[in-house]
Every structure is written in C-alpha cells, then in structure tokens.
C-alpha cells in the first residue's frame, strides 16, 4: 500500500467505522431503556436467592450442624434444654462475616434454616449486623403447654402411683393389723 | 548543547514509531495506582516517564492479599469452596470447578453426567461473562464508554441466569465437590438457549461498534507486541498466549471433564491471533482472541444443551469429607489462562497444602517488559490487554 | 472578564439595544458614562445568566443522551425526568469543600478556573441571540470568538501547572499541544463560509443566507459544494477545541484520572465544567451561523414573508412581526446550537479516545491540508462558477 492510498484509506475507514458506530448507538438511543427505577420497581428475585437468613425456630433442635458447616464461624446459638423442650437464649448470625455461601443450609437435619430473598441490610452501627434470628426468646407457647401437659401428666402419673402405693400400704397395714389382731 | 537521544521502542517488531528527541529531559516517576481508573482494581504500577513516554515500569502487588492459600489449610474441604469464588471474582464458576476437580481427583469419585453438563454450561457462560468484562473494560480504558455498558447488559442476563440456578450473582459456590449443589430449575435450560440466540446478535454489534472501529484499531494494533518466543518464555497462558499465535488450549490439549468429547464432535475451534491489523501478538490480537472465544463458548453451551439428559447432579459423598492422603494437581482453562489447583491431603478433614496457580499473576509479569518505550496512553492499552484480575494476582 | 467585555463591546451609541433602551428611559440628568457603565453591567449579567443556563441544560442533556444511548434513563429523580438535576448538582458543588492541594501554586490555582470561564463569557459577549438582541455587534465577530475561546488554554495550562500533580501536568500539556494544532484547521475551514459571505460579522453572515425556506444555507451543495467537507473538518476541529471525545485527552479519565481537573473540587471544578458546555454550545452555534443559515430557517422565512419584512432592515421596534421574528430567530439559533451539541454528545458516546500523537497527526497531516484544499476549491468555485448560478446572483 503506498502512502497516498494509505492516507485516503485511513480517512475512509475512520469515517465509515464512525458512522457504523453512530448507527448502533443511535439505534439504542431511540429504544426503551432496559434499566428499572429501583426502589419503585424491582426485578423479580428468584426463589433460590441467597439473602438474609431466616429460621424456623419451632423445628430447630440446636444440633449446631449449621454452625459447624460455616467456614467463618459466624453462627452462634445457645439454648437450655428442658427435657425435650428448648428454652432459647440466643441464635445470632454475624453479617459482618457472613459471605452468603449457603453452606449452613444443606447440613441441617430438620431443614429449618433458610436463606430468604431480602438483601438490603443497612445500619448506622456495626453491632447491629450481628443479626438475631430468633422470633422469640425463652420457650415457645406450644412448648410451654407441651411441657405443662407433660408435667401434669407426670404429676398425675406420680399421684396415681402414690395413691396406688398408699392404697397398697393401707392394704398392707390393714393386713398387718388383722394379723396383729389375730395374734392378740 | 543539544544531544540526540533515542529511546527504546516498545518491543521487537513495532519499529514503526521511534522517538528522536533533541533535548535531554529529566525523567519523572509517576505512580499509576493503587487508585487509578485503569489498573482494574488495587494494583500499583510505578512508571518512569520521559514526558509521555514510559522508560521503565514496575508493577507492585499485594494490595488485595487475603491469604487465600493459607485459609485453605485451615478450613474443611468443602468450606474452602466459597473462598475460591473470591480470587478471580469475574470467573467464580471456573474457580469452583478447578478446586472441585482437584479434590475429586484425590478422592477418585465419578461425577454424574448431568452434573458434568451443567458444570460445562456454567463454566462456559462464565467465560463469556468474564470476556465481556475484559473487552468492555478494555474499551473503557481506551475511552469508549458505551460498549462497556452494552456488554454489561448481556453480562447482567448471564448473572441473572446464575442467580436463578444458585442464588448468587458473583460468588456462586455452585460447583461443588462431587457435582453441583442443585439441579437446574425448570425452564432454566431453555432460557440459556434464548440467551445464546440473543448473544450472537449482540456480539456482532460489539464487533461493529468497537472491534473494527478505526480508532480502536489504531490504538491497539502494533502496540504491546509479544512475540511467540517471548510469550512462551514468560509462561503466559490463555488469550495472552493465543494472541501471540501459540496454539495451546487446555480444553483441547489436556482435556478434562467433557471437553475431549466436545472437541471430538468438532463444534468449537480455538481462535488464534493472526496479526490481521498489525503485528502478530499485539493488543488487537489479544482482544480479538477474547472476542472470538465468546462465540466459541456459545457453541460449546449449545452442544451441552443439545445433549443434556436428566439424572442425578451430585455423586454420593459423605457429609464430612475425609480425603484420602495424597496430592493432586488440576489445571483448567480459566478465561484468563491456566488456573491450577494443587492440593495435598494427609487423610484428614483439612488440606495440608492448597496452592493456587493464578493466570493473572503470571500474565502480569510481562508488563515490565512491554511498558518501556510505550506512550502513557499505550501503557493503558497494554495493561488493559493483559486482562488481569487483581484479586487473583494477590489472592 | 470585565476587561475583555470592555475591549469587545465598548458600546457605541446606537449599536447596542440595551444602551438604546437605557438612553430612552434615563432622565437627562444621568451622565453618559453612567449609562455606558449600566449597559456593561446589565450585559455582563445577561451573558453570565445565558452561559449558566446553557451549561446547566448541557449537563442535563449530556446525562440524558448518554443514558438513553446506554439503555438507561439517566437522572430521573429531581423533577420531571431529572430536569432539576443540574440545580441540585450546583447546590452540591457549592457546598463541597474547596480544596487546595499541598504544594500547589495558590494564586494560579485559584485564578485558573476564573480565566477559563471568563474566556468563554467574553466570547459570548459578541454572540447574538437574535438579529436585534446582542450585547456587542462587532465586525470581527467570529475573529473575536476564536481569539477569546483559545485563551481557555492559558487557564487550563495554569490549572495543570499549579495543581502540583503529575496527572494534571500531563493534561495541561496535552491541552496546549492539541489546541494549538487544531486552531489552524478550525480557522482555515471557517475561511470557506467567510469567503462566501464576505464578512466576519455573525449577523451579516446570517442575513446573507436568507432565502426561500432556508434553501440558501451555505451547507447546501448548490451554494458551494466545498462547504460540506469544510463543515466536517470544522466539526472535528471544534471537537478537539472543546476537549470532547474522541479528543478528550486533556481529561482522559482512564489515563490521567481527570487530567488538569484532577485536583479541583467544588465550585472551581464546576467552572471548568460550565466552560466546556458553554464552549460546546458556542462553537456549534458558530457552526450554525456559518454553515446552517444562522437565524434563517423555514420558520423565520415564514414570519418574514407573512409580515412583509426585509432581511437586514430593523423593523418597527414593537410591531408584532418584529417580536415574532426575534422569537423565531432566537428559537432557530438555540435549536441549531443544541443540535450541534447533541451531535457532539452522540459522537462522544460512540468512539474511543485517540492517542496524543494521533491527535497531532490528524490535526497537522489530515485536517490542515484538507481544509486548505477546501479553501482552494471554494475560492475557485466562487470566482469561476458562481457567476453561472442564477440563485447565487439574486
């Protein structure tokens, strides 16, 4: 290519490719934008989205499987056992550490910890990112009634047992009395 | 007294631009980064400049060091998976794949075929996404802002696809040891098909808008030339290597998973730099290889979509992983080059050694050689063409 | 600024509409110099207001155009489709901390943005918004505009030098090299319409293009076929002069962070910004005057035709025809000006940036010789062909 043809080739190429580019950008200028106005309209969030966790507390048995599966140990929980029932003290997830890997969800034997679709978590204070997953503290009402029922049952059982024993004892005493009387 | 000085030209083969100066001037040290729009993250390049011409360059690393390898020796096998997302955050699926394959090799487990298919689809989609960022930000480095946003539009769709299958948009942790976490939700595969159709259309637009644009060609052709021998000497991999015309792709030459089968079916090719617009191995060739690879990836995805069949997506593995003692190295073709995972196990729950060979780190080394002699504006073009992810160079 | 205005528009009696108006209403006791001073004051105020409004509209337009080109909306919150956004930005910039970097040359650093803005304000002084609405109608109008706008370079170089930042220095050096290179093709390509019009005066050039439905604009090939290539060259040159992409090397946000503006913040930074948009409008309005008929459009032709007005003759001051003509003329030039601005934005959001040596090559090796060819061709056309064209000799 001689210098002259190269010169005019450059001019031609520049103008042509510029016009081609302008045609493409101009096409999009006239089209409707694809973005959405975020807080007013939102894109749908799929079901599998890995957002802020939620806990089905009733099901949880405090087995610590999720806490053990967590690579960064951001789950902490504590509860007092009353026989079968749990009195919840704390179940926190530290979102300063959490990296939303969902590894805590799979090992759960009761399928009670899940990741929700909520993703915005804003605070003025870092301490608030230690998120409490509990919906209630202490024992649930169901658990309380269950426990009460169990206690009553137990009491009734014990009373019945006692009564039985008392009856037995009375019977025995009676028998003994009779015996004594017979001896006399 | 005026003294004529000839500064070194960029590299052998450029030859076209030679700067003759009549005055001797003082060199200036310019600190490009760690906060600079063109360093793609927190990387710092110390440039010694004579006016607009670089006379020396020194990349400084470590601003994003997060001890990824050391963490690998302290968490359980499966627990390390989320950390692999985070070194090359633009191609997290490929990182998951590489690590999982290394552990699987040690354990000797067989992966169900459907899992392999989904893995391939995800890895190739993520390659497209990564190349979209690479090419888009390359345009951004050269001052073209709009193509970048067009490419992000398609990448957004790709991320929405991943969001549907695994719930996350960037750090997927989806491909796991033994298969994948979840099966694809209903309708997902057909949406991938639609994505492929749309992408091919849009791809032509990127080519018209940026790739063949005369200004773009002028900015990239004959700049930052890496000859074949130099590319091999520096141990470059991926598009950097293929841009220099070296025909080497792990997907074909050391095939893993399904790639041997896919290559045999002949549905995809390995694009190579040809020096069409300038010298072989210049910035334009590297960008060209990336742009062509996107289309090849689409072909691979289509092959998988055609031959996918229902089945299990994860092999039977115990809940607490105990990997047999031994060592394994697996290298896979990341969008940036060879991503190697070397894991050593003593039979316990935790790795003894977990070494990562990142392609960006190796590819970065060539900068020191390429930058001297280039203009400041060219140095931006050269840095952009290496397509580094600083998360991976530092790990 | 004041000095420049004094130099440009030292208003003589009868040439300035503002002065004329003031002389009519002022009582006899007011001395003549006071009227002149008041004229200057009002004129400066109007110019500053116009420049501010243009800059604000320009920034809003840039955001909307870039947004829609990139498949997004741009500002949508402040007012309808974000039309109050520039105002909100102005308030934000006023409230921002005004930083002066350590080691900066304080005096130069502070006056640099003022010089940059003053140069475009001064150029605006000779810019007529309508045939009878101007501050200074000087015969060397275009010459003055070119001279004033090129003083921007001084401010930019000062800003880059005084910032004590290497990126700023790069930016200002590039600006100096670039503006000097592109002054030449800009001036030469403007010679083509100037040669056809035979005048430097903007209003006279505009009047010369009056004709049926705007069919006498210089750009039409039947007027002079060399005008179109001259306009393309002119347009490329003004892109470089106003530092717009693909010639935005002085700012080059991916290379030089923000070039000469790197260290500026707050209201000083906004001065550079205002200058950019005002200069964009000014240059494209100049292009409109010299290639696209100035005030002449089908609209003004209709008004003139309807009310029987003659080109170049000042009508009765408050007649309906004169008022309508003024309004349509102003509308025409504003629309044309912003059409040019839109074209510049469209280009900016399409093209990558060129390299500094390519900028120089383009300026010296391509634009300058081609502009010379255009001047030669247009001159020959004017001398040899014009006589045979009946529509040129009406």
Q: pLDDT tens digits, residue range C180-228?
A: 889 889 989 988 888 888 888 888 888 888 777 777 888 888 888 888 8
User: Would the pLDDT of C7 be above 60?
Assistant: no
**CB pair distance less than 8 Å for C356 and B213:** no
**CB pair distance less than 8 Å for B167 and A49:** yes
Which residues does chain A have within 8 Å of residue B172's beta carbon, measured at their own beta carbons? none
Closest chain C residue to the Cα of A29, Cα to Cα? C69
CA angle C348/C351/C355 to nearest 5° reads 105
User: Would the pLDDT of A48 be above 50?
Assistant: yes
What end-to-end distance do the CA atoms of chain C give, in Å? Answer: 42
Buried-exposed string A52-74: b where 16+ CB fall within 10 A, e elsewhere? bbebebeebeeeebbbebbbbeb
Helices (H), chain A: 3-30, 65-69, 141-183
What end-to-end distance do the CA atoms of chain B give, in Å? Answer: 51
Verify cis geometry, omega within 30 degrees of 0, for the bond prior to B346.
Answer: no
Band (pLDDT 50/70/90 cuts) for residue B128 is: very high
pLDDT tens string B58-84: 888 888 888 888 888 888 888 888 888
Closest chain B residue to the Cα of A17, Cα to Cα? B213
User: Would the pLDDT of B48 be above 50?
Assistant: yes
What's the pLDDT score for residue B13?
Answer: 39
Please provide the size of chain A in residues: 184
Record the tokens describing residue C230, joined without a space: 């001259």
Q: How far apart are CA C270 and CA C90, in angstroms?
A: 8
Q: CA nearest B71: which of A162, A30, C359, A72?
A: A72
**CB pair distance less than 8 Å for B376 and C350:** no
Strand order in the sheet with B326-334: B326-334, B337-345, B353-357
Contact criterion met (CB below 8 Å) for B368 and B57: yes
Taking the CA of residue A10 and the nearest CA in chain B, the distance in Å comes to 8
Band (pLDDT 50/70/90 cuts) for residue B16 is: very low
Higher per-residue confidence, A78 vs B1: A78
pLDDT tens string C50-71: 888 888 899 999 999 999 998 8
Contact criterion met (CB below 8 Å) for C374 and C228: no
C147: left (phi over 0), alpha (psi -120 to 50) or beta: alpha
C-alpha distance from residue C233 to each of A26, C82, C200, C222, C339 (Å): 22, 35, 19, 19, 17
**CB pair distance less than 8 Å for B218 and C358:** yes
pLDDT tens string B324-360: 888 999 989 889 888 999 999 888 888 888 888 888 8
Q: How far apart are CA B3 and CA A168, in angstroms?
A: 125
What's the pLDDT score for residue B177?
Answer: 87
Verify cis geometry, omega within 30 degrees of 0, for the bond prior to C246.
Answer: yes
Name B339's bridge partners.
B332
**CB pair distance less than 8 Å for C355 and B149:** no
Residues from A in contact with B at Cβ < 8 Å: 10, 13-14, 16-18, 20-21, 24-25, 28, 34, 43, 45-50, 69-71, 99-103, 106-107, 115
What's the pLDDT score for residue C12?
Answer: 45
Q: Is C167 helix (H, G, I), strand (E, B) or coil?
A: helix
Band (pLDDT 50/70/90 cuts) for residue C339 is: very high
**CB pair distance less than 8 Å for A29 and C69:** yes
| Nearest-CB residue to C257 (from B37, B210, B215) | B37
Contact criterion met (CB below 8 Å) for B263 and B395: no
Q: Is B174 helix (H, G, I), strand (E, B) or coil?
A: coil
CB of A5 less than 8 A from some CB of C:
no
What's the pLDDT score for residue C293?
Answer: 82
Which residues does chain A have within 8 Å of residue C70's beta carbon, measured at their own beta carbons? 28
Q: How far apart are CA C175 and CA B41, in angstroms?
A: 28
CB of C69 less than 8 A from some CB of A:
yes
ipTM topping 0.95 = no
Higher per-residue confidence, B16 vs C392: C392
CB of C355 less than 8 A from some CB of B:
yes
A75: left (phi over 0), alpha (psi -120 to 50) or beta: beta
C-alpha distance from residue B169 to each of A119, A121, B153 (Å): 12, 17, 14
- Chains touching B (3+ CB pairs < 8 Å): A, C
Which residues, including other chains, have CB under 8 Å from residue B171's CB and lie 6 or more apart?
A99, A100, A101, B82, B85, B86, B89, B92
| Nearest-CB residue to B209 (from A10, A24, A71) | A24
In CATH terms, B73-211+230-362 corresponds, of 2.60.40.10, 1.10.10.60, 1.10.3720.10, 1.10.645.10, to: 1.10.645.10
| Nearest-CB residue to A50 (from B167, B214, B319) | B167
Closest chain B residue to the Cα of A104, Cα to Cα? B79
**CB pair distance less than 8 Å for A35 and C73:** yes
- Chains touching C (3+ CB pairs < 8 Å): A, B
**CB pair distance less than 8 Å for C73 and A37:** yes
Which residues does chain C have within 8 Å of residue B38's beta carbon, measured at their own beta carbons? 254-255
Which residues does chain B have within 8 Å of residue A115's beta carbon, measured at their own beta carbons? 167
Which residues, including other chains, have CB under 8 Å from residue A130's CB and lie 6 or more apart?
A92, A93, A94, A95, A96
| Mean pLDDT rounded to a whole number for chain C | 83
Q: Which of residues 98-157 of B touch C (CB under 8 A)?
A: 139-146, 149-150, 153
Band (pLDDT 50/70/90 cuts) for residue A174 is: confident
What's the pLDDT score for residue B131?
Answer: 92
pLDDT tens string C298-319: 888 888 778 777 776 665 666 7
CA angle B96/B98/B103 to nearest 5° reads 95
Give the count of Cβ contacts less than 8 A between chain A and B: 74
In the predicted model, what is the mean pLDDT of residues A92-101? 87
In the predicted model, what is the mean pLDDT of residues B297-307? 90
What's the pLDDT score for residue C357?
Answer: 85
CB of B207 less than 8 A from some CB of C:
no
CB of C72 less than 8 A from some CB of A:
yes
Q: Give the other-Cβ count within 10 Å of C103's Cβ.
A: 10
Indicate the helix (H) or strand (E) that contains B125.
Answer: helix B113-141
Q: Which residue has the tokens 């240059």?
A: C283
Closest chain B residue to the Cα of A102, Cα to Cα? B173
Contact criterion met (CB below 8 Å) for B138 and B386: no
CB of C98 less than 8 A from some CB of B:
no
What's the pLDDT score for residue C394?
Answer: 58
**CB pair distance less than 8 Å for A101 and B319:** no
**CB pair distance less than 8 Å for A106 and B173:** no
Q: CA nearest A57: which of A7, A91, A30?
A: A91
Give the count of Cβ contacts less than 8 A between chain B and C: 78
Q: CA nearest B309: which of B114, B110, B111?
A: B114
Q: How far apart are CA C335 and CA C61, in angstroms?
A: 13
Q: Which of A2-11, B207-216, C11-20: highest mean pLDDT?
A: B207-216
C-alpha distance from residue B102 to each of B77, B199, B315 (Å): 11, 32, 15
CB of A21 less than 8 A from some CB of C:
yes
User: Would the pLDDT of C277 be above 70?
Assistant: yes
In the predicted model, what is the mean pLDDT of residues B224-233? 88
Helices (H), chain C: 2-9, 17-25, 32-69, 85-95, 106-124, 141-150, 152-162, 166-197, 202-208, 227-241, 266-291, 298-307, 320-348, 356-361, 368-380
| Nearest-CB residue to A25 (from C72, C76, C350) | C350
Q: CA nearest B220: which of B286, B292, B272?
A: B286
Q: How far apart are CA C269 and CA C265, in angstroms?
A: 5
CB of B212 less than 8 A from some CB of C:
no
Q: Which fold, A53-139?
A: Alpha-Beta Plaits (3.30.70)
Which residues does chain C have within 8 Å of residue A24's beta carbon, measured at their own beta carbons? 350
Give the count of Cβ contacts less than 8 A between chain A and C: 40
In the predicted model, what is the mean pLDDT of residues C116-126? 85
Residues from B in contact with A at Cβ < 8 Å: 75-76, 78-83, 85, 146, 150, 153, 160, 163-168, 171, 173, 181-182, 185, 205, 208-210, 212-215, 319
Q: How far apart are CA B385 and CA B131, in angstroms?
A: 11
In the predicted model, what is the mean pLDDT of residues B272-287? 86
Record the tokens describing residue B370, joined without a space: 């390429």
Closest chain C residue to the Cα of B151, Cα to Cα? C70
User: Would the pLDDT of B10 be above 50?
Assistant: no
Taking the CA of residue B263 and the nearest CA in chain A, the distance in Å comes to 33
Taking the CA of residue C350 and the nearest CA in chain B, the distance in Å comes to 6
| Nearest-CB residue to C349 (from A11, A18, A25) | A25
Contact criterion met (CB below 8 Å) for C292 and C217: yes
Q: Which residue has the tokens 């909306």?
A: C73
Q: Give the other-Cβ count within 10 Å of C24's Cβ.
A: 8
Taking the CA of residue C57 and the nearest CA in chain B, the distance in Å comes to 22
| Mean pLDDT rounded to a whole number for chain B | 85
pLDDT tens string B150-178: 999 889 999 999 988 988 888 888 888 88
Which residues, including other chains, have CB under 8 Å from residue A182's CB and lie 6 or more apart?
none
Q: CA nearest A33: which of B104, C17, C74, C229?
A: C74
Which residues does chain C have within 8 Å of residue B216's beta carbon, measured at their own beta carbons? 352
A-interface mutation test, from B159, B168, B319, most A Cβ less than 10 A away: B168
What's the pLDDT score for residue B24?
Answer: 65
Exposed / middle / buried, residue B358 (Cβ in 10 Å: 0-12, 13-18, 19+): buried
User: Would the pLDDT of B21 be above 60?
Assistant: no
Buried-exposed string C39-75: b where 16+ CB fall within 10 A, e elsewhere? bbeebbebbeebbbebbbbbbbbbbbbbbbbbbebbb
Contact criterion met (CB below 8 Å) for C134 and C17: yes
C-interface mutation test, from A6, A7, A33, most C Cβ less than 10 A away: A33
Q: Is A96 helix (H, G, I), strand (E, B) or coil?
A: coil
C-alpha distance from residue B66 to each of B72, B391, B393, C36 (Å): 11, 9, 11, 71
Record the tokens describing residue C241, joined without a space: 């002069």
Q: Give the other-Cβ count within 10 Å of A88's Cβ.
A: 20
CB of B374 less than 8 A from some CB of C:
no
User: Would the pLDDT of C2 be above 60?
Assistant: no
Verify cis geometry, omega within 30 degrees of 0, for the bond prior to C360.
Answer: no
| Nearest-CB residue to C351 (from B213, B375, B380) | B213
């Amino acid at each position: 290519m001689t210098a002259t043809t190269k010169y005019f080739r450059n001019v031609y190429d520049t103008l042509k490719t510029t016009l081609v580019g302008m045609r493409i950008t101009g096409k999009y200028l006239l089209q409707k934008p694809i973005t959405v106005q975020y807080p007013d309209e939102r894109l749908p969030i799929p079901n599998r989205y890995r957002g802020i966790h939620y806990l089905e507390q009733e099901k949880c048995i405090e087995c610590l499987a999720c806490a053990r599966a967590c690579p960064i140990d951001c789950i902490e929980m504590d509860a007092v056992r009353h026989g079968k029932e749990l009195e919840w003290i704390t179940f926190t997830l530290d979102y300063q550490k959490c990296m939303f890997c969902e590894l805590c969800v799979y090992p759960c034997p009761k399928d009670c910890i899940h990741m929700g679709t909520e993703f915005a978590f804003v605070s003025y204070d870092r301490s608030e990112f230690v998120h409490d997953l509990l919906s209630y503290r202490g024992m649930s009402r169901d658990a309380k009634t269950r426990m009460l029922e169990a206690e009553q049952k137990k009491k009734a059982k014990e009373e019945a047992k006692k009564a039985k024993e008392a009856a037995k004892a009375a019977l025995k005493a009676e028998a003994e009395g009779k015996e004594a009387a017979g001896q006399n | 007294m005026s003294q004529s000085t000839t500064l070194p030209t960029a590299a052998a083969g450029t030859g076209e631009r030679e700067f003759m100066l009549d005055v001797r001037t003082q060199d200036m040290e310019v600190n490009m980064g760690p906060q600079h729009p063109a360093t793609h993250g927190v990387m710092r390049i110390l440039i010694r400049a004579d006016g607009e011409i670089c006379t020396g360059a020194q990349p400084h690393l470590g601003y994003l060091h997060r001890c990824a390898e050391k963490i690998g020796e302290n968490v359980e096998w499966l627990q390390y998976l989320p950390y692999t997302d985070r070194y090359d955050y633009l191609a997290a699926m490929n990182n998951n794949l590489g690590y999982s394959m290394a552990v699987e090799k040690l354990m000797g487990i067989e992966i169900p075929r459907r899992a392999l298919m989904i893995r391939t689809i995800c890895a190739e989609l993520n390659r497209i996404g990564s190349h979209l960022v690479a090419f888009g930000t390359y345009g951004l480095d050269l001052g073209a802002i709009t193509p970048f946003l067009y490419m992000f539009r398609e990448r957004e769709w790709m991320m929405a696809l991943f969001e549907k299958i695994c719930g996350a948009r960037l750090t997927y942790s989806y491909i796991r040891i033994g298969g994948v976490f979840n099966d694809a939700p209903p309708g997902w595969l057909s949406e991938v098909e639609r994505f492929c159709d749309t992408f091919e259309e849009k791809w032509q637009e990127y080519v018209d808008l940026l790739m063949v644009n005369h200004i773009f060609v002028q900015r990239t052709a004959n700049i930052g030339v890496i000859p074949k021998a130099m590319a091999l000497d520096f141990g470059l991999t991926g598009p950097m290597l293929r841009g220099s015309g070296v025909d080497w792709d792990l997907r074909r030459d050391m095939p893993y998973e399904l790639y041997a089968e896919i290559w045999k079916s002949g549905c995809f090719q390995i694009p190579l730099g040809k020096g069409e617009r300038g010298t072989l191995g210049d910035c334009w060739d590297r960008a060209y290889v990336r742009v062509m690879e996107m289309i090849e990836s689409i072909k691979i995805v289509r092959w998988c979509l055609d031959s996918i069949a229902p089945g299990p997506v994860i092999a039977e593995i115990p809940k607490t992983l105990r990997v047999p003692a031994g060592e394994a190295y697996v290298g896979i073709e990341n969008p940036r080059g060879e991503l190697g995972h070397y894991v050593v196990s003593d039979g316990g729950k935790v790795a003894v050694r977990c070494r990562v060979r990142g392609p960006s780190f190796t590819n970065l080394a060539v900068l020191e050689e390429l930058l001297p002699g280039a203009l400041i504006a060219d140095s931006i073009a050269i840095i952009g063409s290496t397509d580094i992810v600083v998360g991976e160079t530092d790990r | 600024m004041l000095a420049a205005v004094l130099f440009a528009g030292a208003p003589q009696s009868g040439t300035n509409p503002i002065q004329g108006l003031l002389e009519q209403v002022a009582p006899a006791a007011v001395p003549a110099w006071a009227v002149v001073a008041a004229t200057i004051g009002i004129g400066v105020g109007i110019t500053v207001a116009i420049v501010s409004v243009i800059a604000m509209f320009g920034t809003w337009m840039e955001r909307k155009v870039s947004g829609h080109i990139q498949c997004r909306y741009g500002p949508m919150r402040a007012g309808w489709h974000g039309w109050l956004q520039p105002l909100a930005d102005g308030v934000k910039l006023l409230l921002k901390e005004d930083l002066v970097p350590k080691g900066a040359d304080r005096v130069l650093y502070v006056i640099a943005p003022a010089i940059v803005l003053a140069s475009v304000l001064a150029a605006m002084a000779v810019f007529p918004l309508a045939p009878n609405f101007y501050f200074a109608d000087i015969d060397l109008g275009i010459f003055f505009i070119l001279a004033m706008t090129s003083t921007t370079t001084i401010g930019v170089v000062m800003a880059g030098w005084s910032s004590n930042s290497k990126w700023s220095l790069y930016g200002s050096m590039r600006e100096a090299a670039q503006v000097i290179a592109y002054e030449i093709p800009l001036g030469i390509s403007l010679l083509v319409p100037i040669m056809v019009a035979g005048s430097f005066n903007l209003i006279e050039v505009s009047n010369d293009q009056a004709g049926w439905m705007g069919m006498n604009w210089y750009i039409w090939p039947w007027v002079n076929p060399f005008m179109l290539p001259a306009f393309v060259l002119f347009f490329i040159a003004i892109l470089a002069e106003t530092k717009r992409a693909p010639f935005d090397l002085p700012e080059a946000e991916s290379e030089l962070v923000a070039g000469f503006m790197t260290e500026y913040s707050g209201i000083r930074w906004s001065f550079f910004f205002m200058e950019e948009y005002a200069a964009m409008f000014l240059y494209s309005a100049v292009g409109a005057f010299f290639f696209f008929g100035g005030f002449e459009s089908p609209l003004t032709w209709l008004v003139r035709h309807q009310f029987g007005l003659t080109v170049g003759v000042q009508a009765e001051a408050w007649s309906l025809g004169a008022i309508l003509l003024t309004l349509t003329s102003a509308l025409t030039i504003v629309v044309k000006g912003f059409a040019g601005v839109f074209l510049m934005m469209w280009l900016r959001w399409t093209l990558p940036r060129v390299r500094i040596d390519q900028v120089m090559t383009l300026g010296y090796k391509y634009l300058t010789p081609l502009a010379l060819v255009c001047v030669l061709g247009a001159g020959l056309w004017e001398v040899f062909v014009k006589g045979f064209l009946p529509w040129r000799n009406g």
